Each structure stands twice: as structure tokens, then as C-alpha cells.
Structure 1
Amino acid sequence: MLEATPHAQTGKRGKRVEKLAAQRSGLLYYLVRDRYLYLFLVPAISYFFLFKFVTLYGELIAFKDFRLLQGVWGSQWVGFKHFHILLASPDFWQVLRNTLLLNLYSLIVAFPAPIVLAVLLNEVRLHWFKRSVQNMLYLPYFISWVVLGGIIVSLLSPSTGVVNSLLGLAGIEPIYFMTDTGWWPVVFSLSTVWQGAGWGTIIYMAAIAAIDPGLYEAAKMDGAGKLRQIWHITLPGIRGTIAILLVLQMGKMMDVGFEHVFNLQNPAVFSVADVISTYVYRTGLQNAQYSLATAVGLFQGVIGLILVLIVNKAVKKLGEGGLW
């Protein structure tokens, strides 16, 4: 038999290499290779599938005159009737205004807070002090709003609260923080910072850690001080992270958070503290108007999606990656 020429052998070997490379570039190859890592995603994927995608079936209630005994399919189809009722209700426009204003206050006050804290902590050189501050910042994030709300109410009590006791020592009359419509949004915004700033700091600290230390060394050689290093290196280095978190924050502009508001509000401040989440709770669970409550939730979700799309496009126009 004639032996294959060296050129033919090289060609066959090249084809085998190409075939092996094609197999390794397939999705199945990476799923098998990293199967144990993908197992960590199973709980998160299961959560979103069960509680975010499967539950979309229930949005049909917004377009029906839902009766519990008749079920979703058995209830009468009414189209956009409940949306018309919703948009014609003055109560809805008040809770919509309150929701947007409280989220705007939180965006102005709470969104920059973890950025500032992360930058400051990054400059701390005493490791024991840095760890202690980080632990104190992270702790409120893992405490329920039932507990945090009770702490805030106790601290701001006009008779026994620490804050009003200190104001009394300064000759200032007690301030009714929790029942004053002017002070309540301030308390809400500052409590948002207290509870969430620590978690945001973790994300920004991780982003800062990814910045090349050589950039700081070069800046020092050029005579740049700490403020210039922060302005020209640290902040530009985490700009992408800031942009992504801003897009995600805008998606929550229609959702203040039920537990937060519910544990701090009272009838005296309903005019500024009644938001969409508490309105849905009152309408759907207390008054059993399930279709109207579902219409509110669907409206909330659609507006949030539109805001995410708009802000994500604006971020990409500014040169950042965005969410997609």
C-alpha cells in the first residue's frame, strides 16, 4: 500500500485539531466542564423562574373581573376597565407622586453614599479600623425592617428618644419627626442610607480593588495628591459599575419597598408616606379588590421597564456598557 504523503498527514491532523477545537467551543462543552459552578446558579434561577416568570400568569387578573370562586379563566374578561378606574382615581395619583418623590430623594441621598464610603475606606491604612467600620456598615443590611423601624421610632421619640434628648440639651424644642410631613421624608431617606449603604460599599470596594495599582504609582510620581488620584483614577475606574447600578436603581423608581414604608408610616403622614406598595396592600388584601391591585402592579412593572430601557440607552450613549 502506498503511504500517505506528509502533506496529507498534516491535513488530516489539522482537521482533527479543528474538529476538537469546534467541540470545545460549543455550549455543551462548557456546561459539562463547569458543571459544578453552574450548580450554584440553580437556586437563583429557580427563584426567578418560580416567583418572577411563572407568576406572570396571574397578570391576567388585571384584565378580568376576578372572582375567587370562578378562578382566573372563569372570571369575566373586562379589558382595560380597571386601568381606567385606576387612572381616574385621585388616590392613585397621590401615591404615584409620593412613590416618585421618595425614590428621587433616595436617589439623591442614598445612591452617592456607598460611593463616598467606598472611596474613603479605600484610603484607610489601619486594617483593624477598616474592618471594624465595614462590619458596622454591613450589619443593618441583614436586619429586618421591623427591627430597624422600631429602632428608628425609639431614637426619634419626642419624649424618650435620644435625638430629642440631645436637642433638649441644646435648648431646642422636641421635634415630632415621625408625624411631621416635612421631616418624615428626611427620616425615610436617611434610613435608606443607613440600611443599604453598607451593601453598596461592598460592590464599589470590589470595583476599586480591580483598578491597576500602577496608575496610582504613576500619579504619585507626577505629583498628584489624594484628591486628584481619586478624581482622575478611582472614580473613572468605577464609572462602569456606577452606570450599571444607576440603571438598576432606575428600575426601582416605581417600587419604594413595602416593609420599609409600612414600618415607618402612620396616619398622620399618609399624605407623603402612602406609596404604591402600601396602596396595593390596602386595595388587594384589605379590600379584596384583586383585579385593581393587579392592575396597579402591572402598571408599576411596565413603567419600571420603560425607565430601565431609557436610562440604559442613555448610559450607552455616554460610552458605558450598560446592562446589555
Structure 2
Amino acid sequence: MKLKVKKIDPLDSPLAVSNNIPIKRKKNSLKSKLWRDRYLLLLIFPGVLYFLIYRYIPMAGILLAFKDYSPFRGFAESPWVGLKYFKLIFEDAEVIQVIWNTLQISMLQIFFAFPISIVLALMLNEIRNQVYKRFLQSIVYLPHFLSWVVVVGITVIFLRSEGLINGVLVNFLDLNPIPFLTDPTLFKPIVILQVIWKESGWGTILFLAALSGISPHLYEAAVIDGASRLRQMWHITLPALKSTIVILLILRLGNVMDSGFEQIFLMLNPFNMETGNVLDTYVYFKGIQQANFSFATAVGLFKGIIGLILVVLANRLAKKFGEDGLY
């Protein structure tokens, strides 16, 4: 039987270490590192190409916000006007109303729709029958895969004047029909309920993933100490979800000026336009229908800047309270 003798690098010897001899190792060149990781780089190449083509290259279009763009003059020949269209944002009363509508809908989604996902994840986590748990998860995930066209269509069928809800009110309760789809005061509650029904189940995925990482020994120790299920949830489950909740909340604040174009656009009508028109639909009406491309670009850029500021502030606030934050 032959014994294999391992060769020891003189620089790694105990004598070299004890005498503090500087160790010089051969650095891999960038070319060799790229060749070594060529298969991993090949895997991420489609994603990088997607962001490059559809995210970064189109960013050159934000120059339209600083130009009086005309399709007949072209991008290069359109005159430079500086911050003219940004000043118009704050001078136009309609823009102020649109921003207020956007903030209202976004904040209502944060206060009502966001916590529903947490509560639903906690409820699913308490189910011990795995077959029943997976069945319920599939049921609550399903609405996420429906398009907003389908969701709004279902809403119209139920809430129109001759719909199911008004049919019950008139025929069984002897009440007057309620104009759900044309009453401006009901627009925002209906939109929030749609978001809750469609996205709450999908929002539980990250919370359930975080709950799966909790050590079962913590619950066993809590049971030995006499803690009830409610106490276990309060002192073990919720603290484990805290960092996930903070990160998702920061990301949600970054989209606070984005209320969702498809849903709002499909729900709008002449009766609820004043309370339902948001920045996304306003940009569409101004930029596409009225061909005011520069003003619409300025509004869109303003929305992105506000989102960036909110993310930075929320991230700093999270760090002050001891959380990791996004970066």
C-alpha cells in the first residue's frame, strides 16, 4: 500500500506563519475568472440582456421631459426647454388632484391589503394537515393568475345595476339599487377590495418561506413554558417575520406613486374620473391620447424620483430601528 505524501507550500508552513513572512499568492486574472465562471455567466446573460434592452437603454427617453418634443422635428431637433414641464406639474390643478388620488389609493393598499397577506400567512401556518394546507394555498394563489381584465369583468357582473348584488338588494331586501360603479365615493373601496382578493394569497409566499425557517425547538420550549398558541405567535412567529415585513414595506413604498394602470384604467368612467384618475392613467391620457409626450415624460420621471426618495428614507429609518434594510 502506497502512502500519498501531500506537498506543503513553504509559505503555508508553521515556520513562515510564526515568523510573519508575507504570503504572496498568485492572483487570478479577470480573464481566467470569467472563463472559470463561464457557465454561471451564461445563465444570467438573458436576464442582463433583458434589463439592458428594456430598462436601461429606454432611459435615454427621459430627455423628452426637458425638451419640447415634436414628432415632426424628431428627438435631436426638438428644442431644449429645461424644467418647463416640471413647473407645469405644480401649476396644473388636475395634476395635484391626480397625485392626491394616487397617494390615497397607494396608502389604502398599504394599510389594508398589505397586512392581509401577513394575517393569511399566519393562518395558513397554523394548519397542521398538510394536504388541506396545500389545497387552501392553491385556492388563495389562484386569483393572482387572473388578468385585471377578468377581475374587473367579474366586478362589473356583480356590481352593475342589474347585477347579482343589486338583484339581492331589490328582490330580497326590498332596497333601492346602489350605483357601485358610478358612485365616486365607492371607487376606492372597490379597488382596494379587488387588490385584496387578487393579490393577498400571492403575497403570503415570502412570509410562509420566512416562517419555514423558524426552528421548531423554539415552539417546543414555549410549550414547555406554558405559552398558548397566541403567545407563540406573538413572541416567536411575528418577530421572525419582522425583517421580511420591513423589506417588503420598503419596496412597497418605492411604488407608492404607482397604483396600477390596468386596474384603474378599466374601472374608470366619466362619473368617477375625478376621484379615480391616478398618475399612470393621467400619463396615458396626456401622453398618448393628447400627444403631449414631454409633459407625460416629466410626470413619469417625477413619479420615479419620489419613489426613489421614499425608498432611501424608509431604508434609513429601518436601519435606525435595528433592521438590515435593503442595502
Q: Structure 2 length as normaliser, TM-score?
A: 0.89
Unaligned ranges ≥5, structure 2:
1-7, 17-22
**1:159 alignment partner in structure 2:** 162
**2:59 alignment partner in structure 1:** 56
Quick one: which of 316, 320, 324 aligns to 2:323? 320
Quick one: which of 61, 66, 69 aligns to 2:69? 66
2:299 is the alignment partner of 1:296: yes
Quick one: which of 106, 110, 114 aligns to 2:109? 106
Quick one: which of 261, 264, 269 aligns to 2:267? 264
**1:11 alignment partner in structure 2:** 10
**1:135 alignment partner in structure 2:** 138
Q: Which amino acid aligns with 1:126?
A: N
2:174 is the alignment partner of 1:184: no
State how far apart, in whole Å, the 2-side matches of 1:46 and 1:141 are.
Answer: 27
Q: 1:29 to 1:243 in 2, by over 3 A?
A: farther
Range moving further from structure 2, 125-134 or 262-271: 125-134
The percent identity for this pair of structures is 43
State how far apart, in whole Å, the 2-side matches of 1:42 and 1:166 are.
Answer: 56
Unaligned ranges ≥5, structure 1:
1-8
**1:246 alignment partner in structure 2:** 249
State how far apart, in whole Å, the 2-side matches of 1:29 and 1:316 are.
Answer: 38
Matches of residues 7-86 of structure 1 in structure 2 within 5 Å? 11-14=10-13, 19=25, 36-86=39-89
Aligned residues: 312
Matched residue SS, 1:189: helix
- Aligned Cα RMSD in Å? 2.3
Deviations 1:105-133 (A, max 9, x none): 11111110110110000001222221221
Deviations 1:143-184 (A, max 9, x none): 1111111111112123122x3334443444322211111211
Q: 1:227 to 1:34 in 2, by over 3 A?
A: farther
State how far apart, in whole Å, the 1-side matches of 2:166 and 2:43 are.
Answer: 48
State how far apart, in whole Å, the 2-side matches of 1:129 and 1:247 are.
Answer: 33
**1:229 alignment partner in structure 2:** 232
State how far apart, in whole Å, the 2-side matches of 1:27 and 1:236 are.
Answer: 43
Range moving further from structure 2, 86-95 or 26-35: 26-35
**2:96 alignment partner in structure 1:** 93
Q: 1:33 to 1:55 in 2, by over 3 A?
A: same
State how far apart, in whole Å, the 2-side matches of 1:147 and 1:10 are.
Answer: 68
Q: Which amino acid aligns with 1:164?
A: N
State how far apart, in whole Å, the 1-side matches of 2:112 and 2:147 are.
Answer: 21
1:109·1:190 contact (CA, 8 Å) conserved in 2?
Answer: no
**2:278 alignment partner in structure 1:** 275
**1:5 alignment partner in structure 2:** none
Matched residue SS, 1:138: helix
1:114·1:201 contact (CA, 8 Å) conserved in 2?
Answer: yes
State how far apart, in whole Å, the 1-side matches of 2:201 and 2:215 are.
Answer: 24
Cα distance, 1:19 vs structure 2:
3.1
Quick one: which of 207, 210, 214 aligns to 2:213? 210
Q: Which amino acid aligns with 2:191?
A: F
Q: Which amino acid aligns with 2:166?
A: N
Cα distance, 1:86 vs structure 2:
2.1
Matched residue SS, 1:182: helix
State how far apart, in whole Å, the 2-side matches of 1:218 and 1:77 are.
Answer: 68
Q: Which amino acid aligns with 1:297?
A: G
Matches of residues 120-131 of structure 1 in structure 2 within 5 Å? 120-131=123-134
State how far apart, in whole Å, the 2-side matches of 1:91 and 1:108 are.
Answer: 26
Q: Which amino acid aligns with 2:60?
A: Y
Cα distance, 1:218 vs structure 2:
0.8
Deviations 1:205-232 (A, max 9, x none): 0011011111111111111111111111
Q: Which amino acid aligns with 2:133?
A: K
Q: 1:167 to 1:319 in 2, by over 3 A?
A: farther
Q: 1:257 to 1:210 in 2, by over 3 A?
A: same
Matched residue SS, 2:184: coil
